[in-house]
Structure 1
């Protein structure tokens, strides 16, 4: 198989539950299985986006010697009300904790990810009507609740 191909296997278990497996042996549960909630297929797309852009941004910031202490990527998607109920809007929020993080470097890292490196995000941007992103830089130990109260 060419290096440009990616392959996974999704094995049906019961009801609408599947276990997804990649060639490295990592597994993910798709749908509810044995009373345990799983991840829905449309949520998987959002997870893929968060992971893809998150890996880009943290890698770029580390190369720029930025001291990121903690990092979250939050993704929300609004679905169409009629079938096939595709995403029509996607919002990405990057939340970074660190002392002295450069706004300039954070913005550059996000832009590089969203415009050049994150294939998941670039593909989804072509499919949705509206794709937006924002970021917040917080000091170490600062909670999101504290920021919301400001």
Structure 2
């Protein structure tokens, strides 16, 4: 039997909610004013993309440390297509890993990306159940 995560999400009135996290931090969720909310929090579907990038990013940051790689800057762009029909979900997701630096070890960084995508990232595995994923690694040499 695996680990159980238990999250409590409390209605704050109108269309806003506050959700706790095992970290002790909370996240506020809301929708846009044009949709009846106050725009005072994160959008639920977009948070899923942050979770995906964050999960994979943590793997890669850990591997950058372990492999003692020189990386000046690293960011992840997550571009997802939402279906037209309700319930709307992400059917295609492009995940771009951008590495910046003078002396980038492309082979090792690509290995770090591959390990995260194929082995370590649980959120990636969840996404794989409902979306086609396209992975791109982009090196920016200074």
- TM-score by length of structure 1 reads 0.84
Give the CA deviation at 1:99.
2.3
- Structure 1: which 4+ aligned runs deviate by more than 2 Å? 32-37
Distance 1:43 1:36 in 2: 13
**Residue deviations 1:45-78, cap 9 Å, x none?**
1010000000111111221110122211111110
Partner of 2:55: 52
Residue aligning to 2:88:
85
Worse overlay, 94-103 or 33-42: 33-42
Aligned equivalents of 1:85, 1:108: Cα separation in 2: 33
In 2, the alpha carbon distance for the partners of 1:29 and 1:93 equals 27
The normalised TM-score by structure 2 is 0.88
Structure 2: where are the runs of 5+ without partners? none
For the pair 1:41 / 2:40, whether they are aligned, the reply is: no
Match of 2:75 in 1: 72
Counterpart for residue 100 of structure 2: 97
2:127 maps to what in 1? 124
> 8 Å contact 2:15–2:38 — kept in the other structure?
no
Secondary structure of the 1:65 match is coil
How many aligned positions are there? 138
Could you tell me which residue of structure 1 aligns to residue 139 of structure 2? Answer: 137
In 2, distance between residues paired with 1:100 and 1:44?
33
**In structure 2, C-alpha distance between the alignment counterparts of 1:9 and 1:97, rounded to whole Å:** 39
CA distance in 2, matches of 1:135, 1:106: 9
Q: RMSD of the alignment, in Å?
A: 1.9
